[in-house]
Chains A and B, each alone.
Chain A
């Protein structure tokens, strides 16, 4: 439901008109981009994942599995700070150095270790993250900061030697709470002099890494008006989420060595090979051409591998030890020393009319970056920018974010990228409005929510006022209808027992498809004689099946079976450039580059067919492995063209294509999360009967893989809603050091998950696709919180939702 602009706000009207003009509804879509389901050969079919068979036989090779290829491979142990804040005054390395089979003991003073500051965040250049990290650190800012490393013949020896290092600290006061960290007398973590590439609003004296705000309309005026008007209600809520671990299955691992040309070669578990290559080049002052980053199979990333975690140290160590080195992190390090989802506190105020129409939203988020700043500004921005577009029609919106340092582990990128924290606040708040006004929560949302054809401006709230995007596909209504039916929203059977109460809760969700205007994906495809194709992309398949979807896109264009398109894993020496696997961009961005490249190759097939059959190129189409004339019906097989192109008498030319794709568009996928819960009002215990998530990701290019994304993301979302996260004692010592201390759901306690796919068609995406990898991670915390509220009347706004909190809140009532 598009709403006309607020006539009172002249500023906004002008901006909106300008934005509307530059984002017209019409999109010049190529006719062959839109195929009816019965015309699709391979897209929207659940094709087998291209690595499935090697995974189930154990032959898929991950970074650590390459160790045997390096007979003189050394292994390393990282020595980490065991205090939360201080400075290392001395490291005695003599005992370790004296040990047999120890090849190097490295400290910040070692010549191989760069002094320069950098950010680990694998982002576009220049990175929108402060350069505040050093490979090894003299000043330590959390328990887990790397201060030295030992390289030895094997891991055991390295660990033994590492324990012999004698470290002396000068200990400082530490701060663990974001509110306290901003107080004037709080311990200061960073000095602005030691940080480069500062982010907007940085105020290191107050431990503020970044601070930004933006406004659409006039929020203060809306609240003043509400004070005077009987028909306007003000609602205020508060929300909180803890540290969450990625629990990434494959611990971060890097093997670094010098190849026969003396270039650095890294095999690494990374989501961002190209960013890593560039960042290593800058950090080590080595030309980009002298670094190769190869990505083997990856044991998933979820954002934890969107950055250089093990790569810089491994590169320094291979020089120090003068041999190939492997750094394989431990699960303990994964939990306390690497990256996490950042905790957030969000306050939300709104003005709403009696009929449920939103007049103003005022949102304020404070995120805990932990000790350093990778992804700090961008994630804190996303806490508001991601969910607010659902309610972009609200005439007055303000968002303010502050990213704050504490002496706790480094937060980083994590699937959803701030959106889960923001969705809890926004979608929890919507239910509070509905409750206050006695409106059905779904009706309230339907009255205000974005829909197809609308101009969306809220995602640009922190940018200049020129930013907006046209919503060209939106299946929210269908997602709501299907999810509502599947969960049984309209007929919840109350349990017999009086102390048990059952209810459904829901939340809407939204994400993006790539970072608008930023990301670049490129592809190269070439044909073999036998009508098979080699596809090279920089797309980084970290597990979800991106390579399979890329093969499907190329196969659809060329009308060959997807197994005839062989996709090569990303390698900076071989694949075209790509920003990497993040921001839900691969299908949408790189997929479009693959489509264009395949179309170029198809054009060459038509050129050959034209010569071979004596008909104009425009006469041809491809079907089932052959090029066919639509005029005469004559055809030539793609295989015949393959041989002709390479060994023919007339023209010899490699059939191939290449293309890049970068766009200002980032069409949001949409989804609706539903949770069905029964709560025991005496104990606070609750049982989840079902979690249903319905998604509109445009055309689902591989439905089975899409379902896999939904189910896996809902599992993580459920964990954020109910798990304790990572905890620390009063000295900042981590209490969560392994899976046994962490509430990751197992088969025994994971509630059932139901995934539903609603098809829409996104004209800007390859064959109508948008993204799906992140969006389903946003919904369970608000939907479960809303369900509990509807069941027993109490609101748990600080995650996790636990029986103890519910019981305590019921007691307070």
Chain B
């Protein structure tokens, strides 16, 4: 069977099987940014946005989605022109292996569209269905806070996404002559 959806702003028609999930169809058609981490709706690595809401695409039967608007990580920005959430993740070193990150960014984007100024508790609550095994979440929370600031225009976002200051963190170092806190 076929299905028509709006994907990243374009009207598309996909050939689908009845049992296909949205994640199956996205990945089979080259939208591989969404990752398959569990296939049971428990990790969030496959999170995309459907009609404005964050959705775990691995448990969403695609046959129910005719006429919906689906947005994936592929729509957010390019490496040369990152979107604000993407550049906040880069600048806050909020990623390691990256397998959770597309889902985490889509979830964060959905949060910030609904609540442009979340506090830490709001962020922790909103992201709690998206797991990350690498970061301990600290830098991810920082990144979402930073993205919120950027999106509300309080901070300038440089064209390259804005590199953070990269000075060494050398705490009370006495190992070298002249070595001191920066």
Contact = CB atoms under 8 A, between A and B. Distances in A.
Contacts of B96: 49, 300, 543-545, 708, 712
A251 B177 contact: no
B33 A57 contact: yes
Interface stretch (B59-67, B76-84, B151-159): B76-84
B133 A744 contact: yes
Given A49-B93, A68-B30, A758-B171, A57 B99 contact: no
Contacts of B99: 62, 249-250, 299-300, 543
Interface stretch (A193-201, A235-243, A256-264, A748-756): A748-756
Contacts of B177: 36
B24 to A, nearest CB: 9
Contacts of B34: 58
Interface residues of B, number: 76
A68 B26 CA distance: 12
A757 B40 CA distance: 39
A57 B102 CA distance: 7
B9 interface: no
Contact of A36 (B30, B134, B138, B179): B179
A52 B169 contact: no
A753 B89 CA distance: 18
Contact of A543 (B43, B130, B134): B134
Nearest to A65: B32
B79 A57 contact: yes
Given A37-B173, A51-B98, A761-B175, A708 B134 contact: yes
A170 B95 CA distance: 49
A704 B27 CA distance: 32
B38 interface: yes
A60 B97 CA distance: 10
A34 B36 CA distance: 45
A738 B38 contact: yes
Interface string B136-154: 1111110000000000000
Contact of B139 (A711, A713, A744): A711
A704 B130 CA distance: 22
B170 interface: yes
Contacts of B78: 57
Interface in B31-48: 31-40, 42-43, 45
B123 interface: yes
B1 interface: no
A77 interface: no
Nearest to B30: A68
A36 B176 contact: yes
A248 B128 contact: no
Contacts of A53: 79, 82, 86, 90, 161
A56 B133 contact: no
Interface in A289-330: 297-300, 302, 328, 330
A40 B124 CA distance: 37
B98 A543 contact: yes
B82 A740 contact: no
B173 A759 contact: yes
A40 B59 CA distance: 50
A542 B182 contact: no
Contacts, number: 236
B167 A45 contact: yes
Contact of A37 (B30, B35, B95, B168): B168
Nearest to B132: A249
Interface string B11-39: 00000000100000001101111111111
A607 interface: no
A774 to B, nearest CB: 14
B37 A748 contact: no
B100 A249 contact: yes
B102 A36 contact: no
B117 interface: no
Contact of B90 (A56, A156, A738): A56
A712 B36 CA distance: 21
Contact of B102 (A45, A58, A746, A759): A58
Contacts of A300: 96-97, 99, 133-134
B134 A250 contact: no
B133 A248 contact: yes
A760 interface: yes
Contacts of A38: 178
Contact of B98 (A44, A45, A60): A60
Contact of A52 (B42, B90, B123, B182): B90
Interface in B55-74: 72-74
Contacts of B31: 58
B63 to A, nearest CB: 15
Contacts of A59: 33, 79
Given A36-B178, A57-B73, A57-B76, A249 B37 contact: yes
- With most chain A CB atoms within 10 A of its CB, the pick from B42, B91, B99 is B99
A750 B95 contact: no
B135 A708 contact: yes
A328 B24 CA distance: 14
A413 B173 CA distance: 34
Contacts of B175: 473, 475, 759-761, 768
A138 interface: no
B131 interface: yes
A708 B92 CA distance: 10
Contact of B86 (A57, A704, A707): A57
Given A543-B98, A746-B131, A746-B137, 14 more contacts: A44-B168, A48-B93, A53-B82, A53-B90, A56-B95, A65-B32, A249-B132, A299-B98, A331-B39, A478-B172, A738-B40, A739-B38, A744-B131, A750-B136
29 contacts: A37-B179, A45-B168, A49-B95, A53-B90, A55-B98, A56-B77, A59-B79, A64-B36, A249-B37, A250-B97, A299-B99, A331-B39, A331-B42, A543-B96, A543-B99, A545-B96, A704-B139, A708-B134, A711-B139, A715-B133, A715-B136, A738-B40, A740-B40, A748-B124, A748-B128, A753-B136, A758-B172, A758-B173, A761-B176
Closest 5 CB pairs of A and B: A58-B33, A543-B97, A299-B99, A55-B98, A711-B136
